[in-house]
Chain A
């Protein structure tokens, strides 16, 4: 029973390049969440998606960041024109039910560590 998969585990980019982070949710899960963890900080919510829909992107920077969860394939978090401040661990989580119910247990992937040179 595979858990949440994220790839790549480590990603190095130069300033101005694009970063693409992928997340495959657990089997049977149709809700995906992306979080960012900066050094010495906790997890910051970025975006919540269902298949083909963005439900809540209130934590996503307005520029350069985008996310999608297509009908087929993994969820993608894209960061365009990366800057040094984007260096962080990006975690994806999935759940069977969404935040419309009271209890929302999320299962996390191992994270992608992005380093911007």
Chain B
């Protein structure tokens, strides 16, 4: 039973446009959500996080939105750059429990 879902395995976006990566979760007890970015042959790197008490967190070109009633979060990248091409993992955890990762979405930013 997948508690964190990323239903789009891949996404292609033109350079300069907005990339929107979506994530759904089933466990209403999660209280922290994280996004990790992964390049081929490298480990994931932390990108941005959001607490369940917030609905938005912004860091430069990256913004994460959380809709708790819909159990949905999204990562917005504006403007998208070719270097953003990577696999993005959504992850979630409840304080005191392990981090659960989604299956990932592969983003391609086309120059």
Nearest CB on A from B3, distance (A): 11
Cα-based distance from A43 to B99 in the complex (angstroms): 10
Nearest CB on A from B29, distance (A): 12
Binds B, one of A65-73, A75-83, A97-105: A97-105
- Assess whether A8 is interfacial by the CB under 8 Å rule: no
8 Å CB interface, B28-75 against A: 31-32, 34, 36, 41-46, 49, 51
Contacts of B100 in A (CB 8 A): 45
Q: Are A101 and B99 in contact (CB under 8 A)?
A: no
Q: Is the interface of A mostly helix, strand, loop or mixed?
A: loop
Q: Are B49 and A103 in contact (CB under 8 A)?
A: yes
Nearest CB on A from B43, distance (A): 3
Residue of B6, B43, B96, B103 touching A108 (CB-CB under 8 A): B43
Cα-based distance from A100 to B49 in the complex (angstroms): 17
- Counting chain A residues whose Cβ lies within 8 A of the other chain, the interface size class is 20 to 34
- Assess whether A7 is interfacial by the CB under 8 Å rule: no
Cα-based distance from A100 to B45 in the complex (angstroms): 22
Q: Are A42 and B42 in contact (CB under 8 A)?
A: no
- Assess whether A32 is interfacial by the CB under 8 Å rule: no
Nearest CB on B from A22, distance (A): 14
Nearest CB on B from A115, distance (A): 14
Contacts of A21 in B (CB 8 A): none
Q: Are A59 and B98 in contact (CB under 8 A)?
A: yes
A-B contact pairs, 17 of them (CB 8 A): A6-B43, A42-B101, A42-B103, A43-B89, A45-B100, A45-B101, A48-B98, A91-B44, A99-B98, A100-B95, A102-B32, A103-B32, A103-B49, A104-B95, A110-B41, A111-B42, A111-B43
Chain B residues engaging chain A, CB cutoff 8 angstroms: 6, 31-32, 34, 36, 41-46, 49, 51, 89, 93, 95-104
